Structure 1
Amino acid sequence: MSYLFSNTAYGLTIPLIPLFVVMFLKSGVVWDGIVYSLASAASVPALLFWGNLSDSIKKRKIFVIIGFLGAGIALIPIFLVHTLGVYILFLIVAQVVGMASVPVSNLLIFESTQQSQWPNVMATFNMIASTGTVLGLAIGAVMVVLYGSGVDSVIPLFYLVAGAIYILAVISAMIILKEPSRNINRAKLGPFYSLRVIERVRYFPSSVIHIISDRKMKALNKLSPPLRHYIYASSFLMFGFQLFILAFPVYVIQNVGGTTEDIFYLYLINAIFSTLTFRFAGNYIRLKGGKKTLTMSLASRFITFGAAAFLPYIVMQSTQALMVSMIIYAVVGAFWGFISIGQISFVSDNAQPKQRGRAVGYYNSFFGFGQIGGSFISGVISEYVGYSADFAVSSLIVLAGTVLILRYYPHIRIITSDPDSVASTDSL
């Protein structure tokens, strides 16, 4: 129940950065990119800090409470914010403190149940978390409809509501959650890893099992060269994804005439399609293999991103342009599960058994690095060169990243693991 509330709060905030920066503060896409980049940059070291701290003192529940409470307290004052600098400050605080709950969520479940129950318990947890995320977006869409034409002036109110939901998550955690009676070392959870059901524009996963401490970053060279290069290529791909994912909603606002209601629907449709196709993606990978799956899904992004680059030059009515934009973002969401499962399961399956947890930890870290760089560069390209150029560059990077990714398949064995039995799922 606690994570249902927390994911609902997060779901409500997903569309708010572009809406707050562009619609409420009347700033441009370059500042939208800067906000996302700074928020993600703050999250990566925060994840490492909270994860290593929780492991050193061997406590879990207190970090869940700190994360939920910190995020709620930091988001509520945004209701009164009218300047970009103060907004960024509160958002970074919410990211840094909110990350406290991320590295302990899965461990709390593992340490509270028998190993034979882990797959079923995690499946239930994942369903609840995913439901909460979509529910948060749906609540936001309903709020927009209720406020009508004046909603742009009350966008900060959404942060107040999200903060209140986080407080409900705190209360629920204090009442329901119990401190586990045993502790499990992350290093012994190598076959388990977190999956991202829905693509997050900023680095704020709801759960991460494997993290890398600063002193272990040098151990990256101990991985096989093909696997190490694969992780680099995955980060490069994430950089390309971010160029499109960040800028497209702002493009819809500025070039298509999208309203606050339209942006909530845009994110909601993306989340729904991602969730609906995720189970099918796992089955498809087991049947067809990782190479064919990644080729198909990455090709879809190359085509979709490339097609979006021509949208500014096609004369359409605003309603038609909005519908095309919705379809594009839905397609992007529908193929995300194939990429998410294919990449991380490849990393886990092709690392040595004793290095699996470390390899996944590197993948998670470099994933965040790609988001940080992509967010900033996307805003700059879109602002000073144009959205068409940004989408075209993202498409070309996906093409180049796909070539790099597939280059290492002849050197490493094909994916054989079952995502349902070894993976825990990050809801968004």
Structure 2
Amino acid sequence: MKASRKRENASLRAIEDSALFAYTKKSKIRWFYAFVPFKVSTGGTSTLIPLLTLEAGGSAQEVGVINAIGSIASMIGGVFWGKLSDKMLKRKPFLILGFIGTSLFSFLMAFSRSITQLMVLNFLYSFFIAATIPIPVILIARVLKKKQLDYGIAKFNEIGGWAWVIGLILGFFLAYFLSIRQLLVVFAVVNIPSIVLGVKWIQEAPFRIERRSLGVYANYIVEKFRYLPNIMIHLPEYNKRALTRFLEFKEFYLASILFWVGAMLYFSQFPVLLKSRSVSTSEIYLAAVLNSSISAYMYMKAGIHTERRGGKASLIRGLSIRSFGFSLVLLGLSQTGTVFKLYAFVSYALAGYSWAYIGISTTSMISKLAKEKEQGAMMGFYNLISSLGAIIGSILSGFIVKAGGFFTDFLLASLLILLSIFTLMRFDVTARSRHKV
């Protein structure tokens, strides 16, 4: 019986190794580029959904709720598609399904006629996008050696990050000639090559991998705040040891949730503010291009700073820059015309600049503070807390704007970032590092 099981396991391993060899030899990382049209499409669409909400008669509250719905769908979908692909030992079909769903629901959103329809379609759109979130990480982890894993994921994110920026640039130019609904159709079509390239280039690799063994991975180089969590490959464990470790890092987690609530108070209502000041769709795209391109450009520089100065110092630097950037909007609210736009655009650019430090330093802190076997669980907690903070911030933002106006909303956003800095300062990195050993 045992001998038979051993032969069966050996046979399965041989099949997996054979599939992996073919996969690596034929494709290597070429399949990364199958995601380029998809990233261009989602990058271009990201700016349109809040604008479409306003065009359909929605208020600041509806914009906040729709942002929250996107985050909820992404959180649920990321875990759902990841677990389903693990159970079926299939990866490629779910990636292709994610590409198809992205084009389909982007196209359907262009023809939505009510806020309710838009909410439902946005949920489905974000849910299917989430199919593309956990699976690439698993494929990269299996194809590349452990020492190459960070490079592989960083390369994948770099390609996707710049494709996202290209989508925003494309939207900037097309917005001069096309309406918001026409742009949604265009970006739905732009995504179609990813379906074709995915079928051609992505090779199936039938294997099972323990997600928690992946530990910590590189962050996206661009802050895709509408599709949180960025990569949730598993939910955190809930047991006595996990609770103990959670309490040890409570200041870090508290600072994280304060940061994400504050971030989404700002990001959810920023396009609403611009539209209320008669800023054109092209100009809103321009602000997004500045935000994302600066973030992408600063990615490597922030990594060097984090390596030299440490994760905590780099994170505090990023949060400080972000708090200052958020406060610029407050100064701009009393201005009009070009002066207002200058304040708003610089604020949004600094938000992108700060993300490079925030994203990299967070990953660095987790990798250095947690034991290797606990890094995945700690990242799971961070992703869960980040998502909850983003959802809370998105929902609250609309109600705050309705009750107290944009000044109150952006003031609270800036203050919450400051509060997260003070909380983080109480976090003793040195003591936690000693506990790791």
- Which TM-score band applies after superposition, normalised by the shorter structure? 0.7 to 0.9
How far apart are 1:115 and its partner, in Å? 4.1
Deviations 1:22-71 (A, max 9, x none): 2x223221111111012212221221111122222222111111111122
Task: Tell me the TM-score normalized by structure 1.
Answer: 0.88
1:312 aligned residue (302, 324, 333): 333
**Displacement of 1:355:** 1.0
Q: How does 1:23-422 map to 2 (within 5 A)?
A: 24-145=55-176, 147=177, 151=178, 154-180=179-205, 182-190=207-215, 192-204=216-228, 207-208=231-232, 210-212=233-235, 216-218=237-239, 220-255=242-277, 257-313=278-334, 315-316=335-336, 318-410=337-429, 412-413=431-432
The answer (yes or no) to whether the contact 1:141–1:265 under 8 Å persists in 2 is: yes
Distance 1:10 1:412, change over 3 A: farther
C-alpha displacement of 1:20: 0.7
Cα displacement string for residues 206-243 of structure 1 (whole angstroms, at most 9, x for unaligned residues): 644x4116xx3456414152324422331221111111
* Cα pair 1:64 1:100 within 8 Å, conserved: yes
What's the CA shift for 1:354?
A: 1.6
* Higher RCO (C-alpha under 8 Å, 6+ residues apart): 1
Are the equivalent residues in 2 in contact too, given 1:46–1:96 (CA < 8 A)?
yes
Deviations 1:339-390 (A, max 9, x none): 1111232123211222111111111111111110000111111122110111
Name the amino acid aligned to 1:335. S
What SS is found at the alignment partner of 1:59? coil
Q: Is the 8 A contact 2:89 2:206 kept in 1?
A: no
Secondary structure of the structure 2 residue equivalent to 1:199:
coil
1:2 partner letter: A
Residues 257-303 of structure 1 deviation map (CA, whole Å, 9 limit, x = unaligned): 21111111011110011011111001001111223222222122222
Superposition deviation, residue 187 in structure 1? 2.4
Preserved CA contact (<8 Å) 1:76 1:159: yes
CA distance, structure 2, for counterparts of residue 116 and residue 294 of structure 1:
25
Do the aligned partners of 1:344 and 1:363 also contact (CA within 8 Å) in 2? no
Distance 1:114 1:175 in 2: 24
Letter in 1 for 2:257: S
Tell me, in whole angstroms, the C-alpha distance in 2 between the residues paired with 1:406 and 1:288.
Answer: 15
Verify the 8 A CA contact 1:4 1:132 in the aligned structure 2.
Answer: yes
Asked if 1:2 corresponds to 2:25, the answer is no
Could you say which residue in structure 2 is the equivalent of 1:20?
52
Which residues of structure 1 form unaligned runs of 5+? 416-428
How much has 1:160 moved relative to structure 2? 1.4
Contact in 2 for aligned 1:8/1:135 (Cα 8 Å): yes
With over 3 angstroms needed to count, the CA separation of the structure-2 counterparts of 1:144 and 1:172, relative to structure 1, is same
Q: Report the CA distance shift for 1:303/1:117 in structure 2 as closer, same or farther (over 3 A).
A: closer
Distance 1:132 1:31, change over 3 A: same
**Alpha-carbon distance between aligned partners in 1 of 2:119 and 2:271, rounded to the nearest angstrom:** 19
Whole-angstrom distance in 2 between the partners of 1:106 and 1:202: 20
Query: SS at 2:110's partner residue?
Result: helix
Shift of 1:172: 1.0
Query: Considering only CA atoms, is the larger Rg found in Structure 1 or Structure 2?
Result: 2
**For the residues of structure 2 that align with 1:221 and 1:331, how far apart are their CA atoms?**
36
Shift in CA distance, 253/358, structure 1 to aligned 2, threshold 3 Å:
same
What CA deviation, in whole Å up to 9, does each residue of 1:68-114 have, x standing for no partner?
11222122112222211111111111111221121101111222344
State which drifts further: 231-240 or 113-122. 113-122
Provide the C-alpha distance between the structure 1 equivalents of 2:230 and 2:36, rounded to a whole number of angstroms.
Answer: 11
The amino acid that maps onto 1:351 is A
Q: Percent identity?
A: 25
| Alignment partners' CA distance in 1, 2:246 and 2:138 | 28
SS at match of 1:81: coil
The amino acid across from 1:144 in the alignment is: A
Q: Aligned-residue CA RMSD in angstroms?
A: 2.1
Please tell me whether the aligned partners of residues 111 and 181 of structure 1 are also in contact (alpha carbons under 8 angstroms): no
Cα deviations by residue, 1:166-221 (Å, 9 ceiling, x for unpaired): 3221111111110125443222222x31413222232345644x4116xx345641
